[in-house]
Amino acid sequence: MRNCAVIGAGILLAAGCSHAERQARTAGEHGAVKGRATATRSPSPTPPPPRKIDCDRVKCVALTFDDGPGPYTARLLDTLKKNGARATFFMLGENVGAHRDIVRRMALEGQEVANHSWSHPDLTTLSPSEVRSQIQRTQKAVKDASGITPTLVRPPYGSTNKRVEHAIGMPLVLWSVDTLDWRYRDVARDTRVGVNEPKSGGIVLFHDIHKPSVDSIPKVVDGLRKRGFTFVTVSELFTGRRLAPGTSYSERTAPPVQVTASPPAGGSSTGPPAASKAPTAPAPAGSAPGAPAPDASASRGPVPGSPAPGGPSPSGPAPSGLAPAPPLPVSPR
């Protein structure tokens, strides 16, 4: 009996040890897996911040692309990344879902993501609630894909009015150069317009849903860089300036420069310069005290260019020394 008890206790002890060993082994395996998962998990990448570029001093241009993302957008991003160029993408919300990885890549590579409505209607034909729906649905789609909430809107066709501006409640971005790439679909023409027409502070309109447009960008970037341009996003273009909600912007204009005349022009607030007194010639010997001195110029004859004695005086206003300022050029948009 005693032997049976001893044998039974031994079996229980062995079973308990075996169970304990299994628990320890399982815990160790879970710990190892958890440790490996912790070791391999890397922090999620974040988009780079906008650069601080003074486009009043630097020759800046903002390339913008509408209606994407599409089948050629990834190749366009390759070109921009290779050249260290940044641009702005005004996207349609209905296109974002099929290209979420492309939209995320835009943000991570420092490109600006922006809103171009959900389905490209003329917003001026919609009610305020319909306008808000077009914008808000796109805001959500872009935010979900990229992690970034757009701050800029480009109304389709550039069509807007006070009612649309109020309904959107965000700054509206138009353009200073319309390449018309959607109409001509011609690489050579897109390149020529894209290189030659931009001016400092300009915003250039392309469409990344058209293959010829994307094909032209390597030469456009190269040509503009040779002209001394720096490629910026729209938000970077307006660094240092507040973009007001409901206001449309087509370019960054240079700040006004105050011009002053030296000496001040006639009729200016500072008045004409004080007249100086000519030295009085000494009276000749023998003249009466108080008698006027003779005109020294009489013996030299008339000064060239002056009116003859007794002749008529020249007509017209006296020259001020400051030519009238030419009229300021009017922006085409």
Q: Which residues are catalytic?
A: 66, 207
Which residue carries 């030659």 as its tokens?
Answer: 196
Cβ within 8 Å of residue 282, ≥6 positions away: 293
55: how many CB neighbours lie within 10 A of its CB? 21
Q: Are 63 and 206 in contact, with CB atoms under 8 Å apart?
A: yes
- 3-class SS of residue 223: helix
Instruction: Confirm if 236 and 51 have CB atoms less than 8 A apart.
Output: yes
Token pair 């240079």 is at which residue?
A: 254
Beta bridge partner(s), residue 207: 66
Q: What DSSP string runs through 277-300?
A: PPPPPPPPTTPPTTPPPP-GGGGT
Give the SS3 label for residue 114.
strand
Query: Cα dist. 72→67, 76, 100 in Å?
Result: 12, 6, 14
Amino acid at site 103: V
From the list 130, 85, 120, the residue with the least C-alpha distance to 106 is: 85
Q: How far apart are CA 84 and CA 78, in angstroms?
A: 10
**What number of helices (H) and strands (E) belong to the chain?**
10, 8
Residue 315 CB contacts under 8 Å (≥ 6 apart), including other chains: none
